[in-house]
Structure 1
Amino acid sequence: MAVGFGNSRLPVRKSKGRQLAKAAIVVSALIAGQAAALAPEHETRRLMLATEEAVTAENWGEASEYLNRLRQLEGEKPAAYHYYRGRVMLQSSHFNEAQAALEAYVTKAGTEGSHYQKSLKLITGIERARKEKAQAAPVGEESRVAVIEPAGDQRTASLRKLYLADSDREALVLHLNSLLGVAGWRQDKAVVRLDRPADIEYRLSTGDNAVSVQEIQRDSSTGIIRKTTQIPVFGINPQVEWGCEQAVATCWIYDPRDGSRLLKLSPNRSQAEEIAQTLGKLIRNLQTSSAGS
């Protein structure tokens, strides 16, 4: 009898298990149905309203969550999306991303945009904050020289063989100019012809404990304009920052002195990353060589 009684409970347990499973499926279906109830254009408007309310209430974490969900939706985003993204990035002290987003808003919304003047003021504030941050950064013997990691040495040695260079510095400069030669910025991104130079391109060289950056701008009306910037290597961080912004189809390399934009490049993330890393290695090479001399 005991065995029969024990066996009789098994179907009951299985039945309850099936019921619970069915209930879970129904609840999941309801949740999924609610999430997918609105078409993308309506869901975009709903999330934009929620983002606006969160930013107004200074609930930055909540606003960031709504913006991430907006980013994943298909279709073009409203101009205000870039404004709110800029506000959230600025709150987190991500100055580069904040400036790029606010400039994207100004470009898309124009002077008639409801956040136009506020965006311009925020961009000016970002420039001031960058300068204050750069001035507050400690400059001393310890910050002037960085150690090159073994992996970096191996990579640089490979570049010396590739370019048949006599020194690491020469190899890094040659590699940088090779990368910059294909990463130039073009106004017309639809058609890229290799026989036509980019609208903006750069050439780098070194000397006197500094990196020299020559910017070459080509315009059909004004011709060719060349501008050279000297970047002394002492007192700057060799970890060069970079970033890309889809809204304006551009990647930037940021100036290690103050975080402002230094190089305007084509929207290729892998190219921008390698250029930033190679420039950082070149700065470290100059810092180490100067300290040892």
Structure 2
Amino acid sequence: MAVSFDKGRQLARGVILASALLAGQASALAPEHEVRRLMLATEEAVAAESWGEAGEYLNRLQQLEGSKPADYFYYRGRVMYQAAHLNEAQSALESYVGQAGSEGGHYQEALKLITEVEKARKERALAPQGGNSDTSKVAVIEPAGDQSITSLRKLYLADSDREALTLHLNSLLEVAGWRQDQTIVQVDKPADVEYRISAAESNINVQEIRRDAGGRVVRKTQSMSVYGVNPQVEWGCEATAAACWIYDPRDGSRLLQLALDRGQAREVAETLGQLIRNLQSPTGD
């Protein structure tokens, strides 16, 4: 099941190239027949491990109007995994399990693949940062300049860099909260999922606040030690899940569920990385 991320980038380029070459081809078949035809072609391509070809068929399926069969998400998950797009792979496989359930023909394989994705994500999180990392999915944290930190301290009237970064991170998270209904966002109505961050010594405490439709609030708190943690925090946005994710720098698992806004997710990841770096520094204050 292991996948080479160098090879993954080549596969991804193949998917894009094949899609570009065939995007203009139209079909005279009715949509329901075209969906079935492309699903059969995808199944054959995956069986032959022709991942670029399978990706092209999936791209064409994605462009068709109407709902997709559950197997579409299973095959998309397999192709995305081979292309080293772990975020998309996990989202697609979870969609398949959610739609098909335990009676789905690929149920067992999908569960195994989700586990493989988690292992690959953990390996990526623990690996030294270098040419093999997928920089399109990673928010690269540059050391914050003195003027930037000074500006934050002035903005929040903070006594230390650590306090300024924590206040700024919580301000970003307040805006980036995830909502089930994203069509209307009311500033006076709290998000369905939101977070509060606090920092002390070498630990970051993350409080998750979830609200259900009945108004019940569930709070959970976890503590993260920053020792040995990579401050380059990974993030990703998934349209199928209508959410952006900040991934735990310890093991690559999902840490924060945010609204579907790439700019907000990037800034949250960068600020969290700066806070981790500050706590790791013996001279951090």
What TM-score, normalized by structure 2, do the two folds share? Answer: 0.76
1:65 matched to 2:56: yes
Which residue among 81, 84, 94 is the counterpart of 2:75?
84
Note if contact 1:148-1:284 (Cα within 8 Å) is conserved in structure 2.
no
Which residue among 224, 227, 231 is the counterpart of 2:220?
227
Note if contact 2:70-2:96 (Cα within 8 Å) is conserved in structure 1.
yes
Note if contact 2:245-2:255 (Cα within 8 Å) is conserved in structure 1.
yes
The aligned counterpart of 1:213 is 206
The aligned counterpart of 1:278 is 271
C-alpha displacement of 1:33: 8.7
Deviates more, 1:265-274 or 1:247-256: 265-274
Q: Give deviations 1:224-254, integer Å, cap 9, x for gaps.
A: 2221111211212111111122222122111
The aligned counterpart of 1:48 is 39
The aligned counterpart of 1:202 is 195
Note if contact 2:74-2:96 (Cα within 8 Å) is conserved in structure 1.
yes
C-alpha displacement of 1:149: 3.7
The aligned counterpart of 2:241 is 248
1:264 matched to 2:257: yes
Which secondary structure state, in structure 2, belongs to the residue aligned with residue 243 of structure 1?
A: strand
Q: Give deviations 1:241-293, integer Å, cap 9, x for gaps.
A: 11122222122111011110001122222211221121112112222x23679
Q: Which whole-Å CA distance do the structure 1 matches of 2:68 and 2:42 have between them? A: 13
Q: Which whole-Å CA distance do the structure 2 matches of 1:85 and 1:147 have between them? A: 31
Distance 1:74 1:172, change over 3 A: farther
Q: Which whole-Å CA distance do the structure 2 matches of 1:254 and 1:147 have between them? A: 14
Note if contact 1:215-1:226 (Cα within 8 Å) is conserved in structure 2.
yes
Q: Which whole-Å CA distance do the structure 1 matches of 2:183 and 2:154 have between them? A: 36
Q: Which whole-Å CA distance do the structure 2 matches of 1:41 and 1:153 have between them? A: 59
Which residue among 121, 124, 129 is the counterpart of 2:115?
124
Note if contact 2:198-2:205 (Cα within 8 Å) is conserved in structure 1.
yes
Note if contact 2:143-2:274 (Cα within 8 Å) is conserved in structure 1.
no
Which runs of 4 or more aligned residues in structure 1 lie more than 6 Å from their structure 2 counterparts after TM superposition? none
Q: Which whole-Å CA distance do the structure 1 matches of 2:237 and 2:197 have between them? A: 21
Note if contact 1:209-1:290 (Cα within 8 Å) is conserved in structure 2.
no
Which residue among 92, 100, 110 is the counterpart of 2:91?
100
How much is the aligned-residue C-alpha RMSD, in angstroms? 3.1
Distance 1:270 1:74, change over 3 A: farther
Q: Give deviations 1:167-189, integer Å, cap 9, x for gaps.
A: 33222211211111122222333
Distance 1:63 1:290, change over 3 A: farther
Amino acid at match of 2:106: H
Identity of aligned residues (%): 68
Q: Give the helix-richer structure, 1 or 2.
A: 1
Q: Which whole-Å CA distance do the structure 1 matches of 2:245 and 2:26 have between them? A: 37
Which secondary structure state, in structure 1, belongs to the residue aligned with residue 197 of structure 2?
A: strand
The aligned counterpart of 1:28 is none
Note if contact 2:230-2:249 (Cα within 8 Å) is conserved in structure 1.
yes
Which secondary structure state, in structure 2, belongs to the residue aligned with residue 290 of structure 1?
A: coil
Q: Which whole-Å CA distance do the structure 2 matches of 1:224 and 1:80 have between them? A: 35
Q: Which whole-Å CA distance do the structure 2 matches of 1:251 and 1:32 have between them? A: 28
C-alpha displacement of 1:207: 0.9
Amino acid at match of 2:97: V
C-alpha displacement of 1:115: 2.0
Note if contact 1:238-1:256 (Cα within 8 Å) is conserved in structure 2.
yes
Which secondary structure state, in structure 1, belongs to the residue aligned with residue 282 of structure 2?
A: helix
Q: Which whole-Å CA distance do the structure 1 matches of 2:274 and 2:25 have between them? A: 51
1:37 matched to 2:28: yes
Q: Which whole-Å CA distance do the structure 1 matches of 2:283 and 2:61 have between them? A: 49
Q: Which whole-Å CA distance do the structure 2 matches of 1:290 and 1:228 have between them? A: 26
Note if contact 2:141-2:232 (Cα within 8 Å) is conserved in structure 1.
no
Flag structure 2 segments of 5+ consecutive residues without an equivalent. 1-21, 129-139
Distance 1:222 1:190, change over 3 A: closer
C-alpha displacement of 1:110: 3.0
The aligned counterpart of 2:185 is 192
